[in-house]
């Protein structure tokens, strides 16, 4: 039984390696059956020959690639809203736009106040990305937008092929395990199965991630409050009234500056005045000492 086990392990490993390199998987004729031990290597050679030359001649056939391309589409757009109290309503409308194109809101962050802002991440059908961006631009004044597309068709095909090969290798090992009669053979096959199951789970995780990224396009929307419009300058007056107004403005500006300077210097002036008064008092006492008192009789 051990030659069959070893041959089966070799077949499972060869099948998995063939899948990792992107070649087509075996059609199942290399699966170990209940025949004699010498038949397993022959079947493996036949299967390898069919993979190398499926039509009886010529080079090996490359795996079929799906006609539809797999792409990861990402975009971002910045929109300015006139009033701060409108930001929340515009963020809610972004969710309506996402659902209109087969998607939904996946992340959101808002801040209030005079400079309210919001960041909304939505997902839509990839074919509707441009239409969704145009609708989002209508929420206010568009500031900028960017869109990128990454073609992952080959990566998706490679992962799919590796998943199929890993599943076939596990099926082969399960068949060997059911026919094993020795404990040592069962332990070897069980360890190999555990490793193959771990590899398959990692590949399935990659497959799900790629499917999720290619199924919907990601759009990041940034909403911000428009800067306040400066007030229009007053029409400059001319003549006597214009001169009087400009003179009054200059006077009030100068008076304000003087008042500000005096207020800043006042604490220092008070301290200097106190020090000066103390100095004058001390000087007078030393210059004019008190007259001596007459001696008592």
Identify which has the larger pLDDT, 162 or 266: 162
pLDDT of residue 260: 86
Q: CA nearest 43: which of 175, 234, 222?
A: 175
pLDDT of residue 37: 35
Q: Which two tokens stand for residue 260?
A: 């500000």
The upper half-sphere exposure of residue 191, i.e. CA atoms within 13 Å in the direction of its Cβ, equals 7
The confidence band for 201, taking pLDDT boundaries of 50, 70 and 90, is very high
Q: CA nearest 7: which of 33, 161, 18?
A: 33
Report the percent of the chain where pLDDT is more than 70: 69
d(CA 115, CA 225): 6
Tens-place pLDDT, residues 5-33: 444 555 555 554 444 444 333 333 333 33
Helix axes 183-215, 153-179, angle to 10 degrees: 160
Helices (H), the chain: 2-20, 39-52, 87-100, 129-137, 153-179, 183-215, 239-287
Tens-place pLDDT, residues 159-190: 999 999 989 989 988 888 888 888 888 888 88
Tens-place pLDDT, residues 113-156: 888 999 999 999 999 999 999 999 999 999 999 999 999 989 99
pLDDT higher than threshold 50 for residue 75: yes
Average pLDDT, stretch 251-268? Answer: 83
Tens-place pLDDT, residues 33-69: 333 333 333 333 343 334 333 334 333 343 444 447 8
């Amino acid at each position: 039984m051990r030659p069959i086990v070893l041959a089966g392990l070799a077949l499972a490993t060869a099948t998995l390696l063939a899948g990792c390199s992107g070649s087509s998987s075996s059609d199942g004729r290399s699966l170990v059956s209940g025949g004699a031990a010498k038949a397993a290597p022959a079947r493996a050679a036949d299967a390898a020959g069919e993979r190398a030359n499926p039509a009886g001649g010529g080079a090996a056939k490359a795996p079929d690639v799906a006609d539809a391309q797999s792409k990861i589409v990402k975009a971002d757009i910045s929109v300015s809203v006139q009033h701060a109290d409108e930001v929340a309503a515009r963020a809610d409308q972004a969710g309506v736009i996402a659902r209109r194109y087969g998607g939904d809101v996946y992340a959101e962050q808002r801040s209030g106040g005079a400079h309210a802002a919001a960041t909304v991440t939505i997902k839509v059908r990839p074919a509707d990305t441009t239409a969704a961006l145009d609708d989002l631009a209508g929420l206010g004044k568009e500031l900028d937008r960017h869109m990128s597309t990454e073609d992952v068709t080959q990566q998706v095909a490679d992962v799919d092929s590796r998943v199929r090969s890993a599943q076939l290798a596990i099926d082969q090992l399960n068949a060997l395990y059911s026919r094993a009669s020795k404990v040592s053979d069962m332990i070897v096959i069980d360890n190999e199965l555990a490793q193959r199951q771990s590899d398959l789970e990692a590949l399935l995780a990659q497959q799900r991630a790629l499917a999720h990224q290619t199924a919907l396009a990601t759009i990041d929307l940034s909403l911000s409050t428009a800067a306040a419009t400066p007030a229009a300058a007053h029409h400059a007056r001319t003549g006597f009234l214009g001169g009087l107004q400009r003179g009054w403005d200059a006077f009030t500006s100068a008076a304000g500056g003087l008042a500000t300077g005096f207020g800043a210097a006042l604490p220092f002036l008070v301290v200097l005045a106190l020090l000066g008064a103390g100095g004058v008092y001390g000087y007078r006492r030393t210059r004019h000492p008190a007259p001596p008192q007459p001696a008592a009789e």
